[in-house]
Amino acid sequence: HIRRADGEIIQSVWLRENAPFASVIKARLPSAESLEKYFSNPPEDAQFSMVGTFRQDGLQRKLTIRIHVPADQTGKSSATSQSVSELLQESANGISQTRIAVANGTIIQAKGFIVASDGQSALLDVSNILNTLQSEGGNSEFWLLWKINQ
């Protein structure tokens, strides 16, 4: 995923070498286009579509992630609730988290992310995203808005 987005893996460390495997990867995405690629899935992935877009307006920067899940994959049935629970459990079994760090700026608004108290980074909030997709019928936008320091 990182390399597909033209990113560079800076460091990789195994935390657990047996199932469920866990590692920490520190990577750098060199451009706005790379950030968009990282948060977009290839068109051949039929389970859902995800498109990342990056915009700038003066000193403000915004990363928006649009996710569409087909109707047969969403809804409030017990089967869907079970699959949400399974995804959350799978996430808990490992260390599958994505953190975005802002270089030379402060995060001022977010949806679908948990912002660190210093405003310098944010974690993708998988639970919030899954619940929002379910309640909004499978079409949702999530974003990070930050301001660049002068």
Extents of the domains making up the chain: 31-148
- pLDDT for residue 79: 43
Give the residue ranges of the chain where pLDDT is below 50. 76-80, 82
pTM of the model: 0.78
Pairing of strands 113-115, 121-124: antiparallel
Assess contact for 111 and 140: CB atoms under 8 A. no
DSSP for 24-77, please give it: EEEEE--SHHHHHHHT---TT--S-EEEEEEEEETTEEEEEEEEE--GGG-SSS
- pLDDT for residue 147: 97
Nearest to 131 by CA among 145, 115, 144, 112: 112
- pLDDT for residue 61: 96
- pLDDT for residue 43: 65
